[in-house]
Amino acid sequence: MRTRIFVTLLLATIFLTMTLALPAFAQQSSSDSGMQQAPAPSADTAREPLPPPTPRDFWDGDDPNFGNLILHPFARKAWVKRQIEPIKDRVNELDEITGENANKIKDIDARSQRGLQLASEKTSLADQHASDASNKAQTAKLAATDANTRVSSAEQMVGNLDQYKASTQTEIRFRPGQTLLSKQAKDALDQMAAPLKDQHSYVIEVRGFSPGRGQAAIAASQKMADSVVRYLVLTHNIPVYRVYTVGMGNAPAAGEEATKRPTRARVEVSLLKNDVLSAQR
């Protein structure tokens, strides 16, 4: 039974192959006869015909005739595996290269991001330092401007110190050998000191003169000047720092000749005012 089935399949295969091969053979014969009947080309147009492609095996395009079907080996699983194996290895190699490139790209991207972040942080820090430096420079500039203003004010004030001018002058006379103030002397001092209450920008110059010679005359003139200053401070609350006292002894007074000596004991009290400082207040 099995032999009959095998013979039947073999005969069917042979019949099918011949059926497919006969039309191809007839077509090839007709084409060959047509080529023989074609007129020969002239000598001017004669060229070498193109060689027909030479097939290498059945899988490259041989006609599916009976001989090729019988003689050509069938494709087996092992043969297909041998053909695919190099391609598979190449694909795996490409996958590895692609993976390495992807890792390198990720590493480069990560380092770029870190570099950008560090650059941004350094830029922010530099901006902060620049802002601090600008603030310090502005503070220094304001301090310098304030210092210049104060220096200008001090220079103006020092310059105004020379603007004191004599306003009132009173002469207090003493008996020889005495330092006590008479009622007339106190009245003269009251008249000069009373308007000075709550006043500023003034100084009082007290100079004592006494007849005699040497240190004795200087000491006597100093004692008389001190009595005048004591009365002004205790009675009229004149600040001590506004009073300048000097014992002139037997020196000539201002405007007198150098050879002229004082003949009586006296104290000259001069009130000096600074109108410029008074106007600024």
Taking 3-state DSSP, the helix, strand and coil percentages for the chain, each rounded to the nearest 5, stand at 65, 10, 25
CA-based nearest residue to 214, from 248, 179, 249: 249
Contact 72, 58 (CB under 8 A): yes
Residue 146 has a pLDDT of 85
pLDDT at res. 224: 92
- Name the stretches of the chain with pLDDT < 50: 21-41, 43-45, 58-62
Say whether pTM exceeds 0.85. no
How confident is the model at residue 50, as a pLDDT? Answer: 53
Gap between the Cα atoms of 187 and 173, Å rounded: 12
Distance CA 170, CA 272 (A): 12
Phi, psi for 223 (deg, rounded to 5): -65, -45
For residue 33, the model assigns a pLDDT of 47
| CA pair distance 222, 244, nearest whole angstrom | 12
Exposure class string for 222-252: b at 16+ Cβ within 10 A, else e: bbbbbbbbebbeeeeebeeebbebebbbbbe
- Is 3.40.1160.10 the CATH number for 165-280? no
Query: What is the pLDDT at residue 267?
Result: 92
Which pLDDT score is estimated for 212? 81
**Would you say 153 and 263 are in contact if contact means Cβ atoms under 8 Å apart?**
no
